[in-house]
Amino acid sequence: MVLLYHVALGVQMRHLGLRQNGGVAFPSVSGVLPGAWLYENEIQDQFEVTFAGLTPDYGGKLFLRRDVSGTPWGAPRG
């Protein structure tokens, strides 16, 4: 699976892709970019993906109700 990062400063934008095997947690970038915690929590909500070192970690229940199982997109494609 590939996780795409789009990082911008002003009009400049860089696009990065991090490829990783399924079932392995991606490293959280929230330690470097503090605002990333919200993005990574949303991704955990939507896909079967986890982030190691994510703080705060909503455990895949940022938008989803606690009684909902699974994720809307399941495992990521690609």
Partner 1 sequence: MVIPFGPQHPSLVEPIHMQLEVEGDTVLGVRPAFGFVHRGLEKLAEKRDWRQNVYLVERTCGICSFIHSLGYCLALEDLLGVEVPPRADLLRVMWGELHRIQSHYLWLGLLADAVGFESLFMQTWRNRERVLDLNELTAGNRIVVSMCRVGGTARDLDAEMLDRVEATLDAAESEFGPVEHTFREDGGIARRLVGLGRITREEALGLGAVGPVLRATGEASDSRLLGYAGYGRLQVAPVTQAGGDAYARLLVRLGEIRQSMALLRQVLPLLRQEPGETLVPVRKDPTAGEALSRVEQPRGELIYYVRATGGKLLDRVRIRTPTFANLPALVHMVPGNEIGQVPALVLSIDPCVSCTER
Q: Kindly list the residues in this chain that would bind partner 1 in the complex (CB under 8 A).
A: 4, 6, 8-11, 13, 15, 33-38, 42, 56, 62-65, 72-73, 77
The phi, psi pair for 76, rounded to 5°, reads -65, 150
Closest distance between partner 1 and the C-beta of residue 48, in Å?
15
Residue 25 phi/psi, 5-degree rounding, is -75, 140
CB of 24 to partner 1, least distance (A): 22
Write down the least CB distance from residue 1 to partner 1, Å.
13
